[in-house]
Amino acid sequence: QVQLVESGGGLVQAGGSLRLSCAASGSIFSIRAMGWYRQAPGKQRELVAHITSAGSTNYADSLKGRFTISRDNAKNMVYLQMNSLTPEDTAVYYCSAEISTVVRRQAWFNYWGQGTQVTVSS
């Protein structure tokens, strides 16, 4: 069993910052890519950023420069630093990770967290 749990969401004023965290736990053998997605009301889920096990990053073009993804491989955690937030950033933010388990070490699956609400007031 593998679980991803996000934390750090909440209400913030426009121009403020938040740092989201995601912890992966369970019968983990290895983690490859980790990432953040978000879904605003009435919109499709979109990629925010992702990061490989080697540290290579990719961002949505519209967010590059404001958001920073990082990870701690030893702790099985991924973070998202969000700066200069605007009301358009209001969404549920989901953590994802590509994980193999100790039981099936060569089988890779995408896991998702439950999401954390980020609300940016104007």
pLDDT digits (tens, 9 = 90+) for 57-78: 999 998 989 999 999 999 999 9
**Within the chain, what is the greatest distance between any pair of CA atoms?**
48
- At 89, give phi and psi (nearest 5°): -85, -5
Token digits for 17? 């910052």
The 10s digit of each residue's pLDDT in 5-46 is 999 999 999 999 999 999 999 999 999 999 999 999 999 999
Average pLDDT over every residue of 94-117: 97
Quote the CA–CA distance of 40 and 34 in Å, as a whole number. Answer: 20
Closest CA to 92 of 55, 54, 46: 46
pLDDT at 64: 80
Q: Is pLDDT of 111 > 90? A: yes
Q: At a CB cut-off of 8 Å and minimum separation 6, what does 62 contact?
A: none
